[in-house]
Amino acid sequence: MNEKSIIKVKNLTKMFNKFTAVDNVSFDVKKGEIFGLLGPNGAGKSTILRMLSTLARPTSGTAQIGGYDVIKNDNDVRKLIGIVSEKMIMYNRLTAKENLLFFGNLFNIPKNVLAKKVDDLLELVQLTKFKNSQVGTFSTGMQQRMNVVRALLNTPQVLYLDEPTLGLDPQSSVEIREFIKKLNRENGTTVIVTTHMMVDADLMCDRIAIIDHGKIVALDTSANLKKQLSGTKTTIIKLEIVNLNPEIVETIQTLKCADSVTQEDSTHLKILVHGEEAFDSIIDAIRSKKGKITSIENLQPTLEDVFLHLTGHQVRDSTNQKMPVDTHRGPFARPKARIR
């Protein structure tokens, strides 16, 4: 492991009865890095975060945050981390300022220090003029910015973000990505992001671990992952077919040279192919089903193409399997607070 690593994970495994959610995962995260866990729903990303947050106990393997073991030194680990979960952790009937003061008090931050910190954080996310407005009146993007700064109240060295742009419109997604990069750049905060959104991983992360069925299948920078695909004999072609129909798609899928076939719309197919005769085989297959090709384009690999090549399915595929409940809630678990 790198001596400058702030997070060290070795052979981490999590099982729920006979179901293996995380399967012998190892990686390290350098101090000041934005590290991405990219994969579909159910791949094991959130379970990894829960173990690194001391909220779930590993079945086997080890994980250290800032030199502290997540099991043996769980209280020390919690002092170093901030967590932005997939679900919003805010009280809609409280104002922005009231929410941050409430959560700040849970960290026993001195009153005068907390007041200044709340003002600084609201300024950081450009919500100062809304500090006395109820969070329930905020747009989804504004609420997510509040959700992020809530996790910064204890000035964490490591920030965990679980699907930070899920459900956001494109403009809000851009704002969240830029804010995360700014936070990392100006404060040196180490960030782990879980996502199934290719654009988030591609634009935010210094390195990306592609995870599928609980295993890491590749780990590198986005550029290097794409170069790996370029270095194979795989070619990516996009075809426009006037009379595209299911029979054409099914015929291409049966070809040994076609690694994956994606119908992008009513007239366009994107195909990952390999082999010297692949191009001719694809053309012959389309013509055999009376297809009329109007354009052909060679494409540069994308992160999604890399994922398709490595796993054989698209990242937006999701599992319908219900995740078993972890009976070890950990000392971090508390009853839900109520607003009266």
Q: Residue 336 domain-assigned?
A: no
Q: pLDDT band at 327, cuts 50/70/90?
A: very low
Side chain identity, residue 312: G
- pLDDT at site 325: 45
What pTM was estimated for this model as a whole? 0.79
Residues 274 and 297 in one domain: yes
Q: What's the average model confidence in pLDDT over 242-263? A: 90
Rounded Cα distance between 151 and 154, Å, is 7
Q: Residue 30 domain-assigned?
A: yes
- pLDDT at site 5: 93
Alpha helices (runs of H) in 125-232, residue ranges in sequence order? 140-150, 170-187, 198-204, 222-230
Number of compact structural domains in the chain: 2
Residues 113 and 12 in one domain: yes
Domain end residue (candidates: 204, 220, 236): 220
Q: pLDDT band at 232, cuts 50/70/90?
A: low
What's the chain's Rg over C-alpha atoms? 23
- CATH number of the domain that 290 lies in? 3.30.70.100
Rounded Cα distance between 94 and 130, Å, is 12
Between 8 and 139, residue with greater pLDDT: 8
Least confident of 2-6, 39-43, 60-64, 146-150: 2-6
- For 205, the token pair is 């992360």
Beta pairing, strands 215-220 & 293-298: unpaired
Residues 149 and 78 in one domain: yes
- CATH number of the domain that 57 lies in? 3.40.50.300
DSSP readout, 17-85? TTEEEEEEEEEEEETT-EEEEE--TTSSHHHHHHHHTTSS--SEEEEEETTEETTTTHHHHHHHEEEE-
- Edge to edge, what strands does the sheet with 293-298 contain? 258-263, 268-274, 234-241, 293-298
Domain containing 251: what range?
226-311
Residues 83 and 19 in one domain: yes
Please check whether residue 98 is in contact with residue 41, taking contact to mean a CB–CB distance below 8 angstroms: no
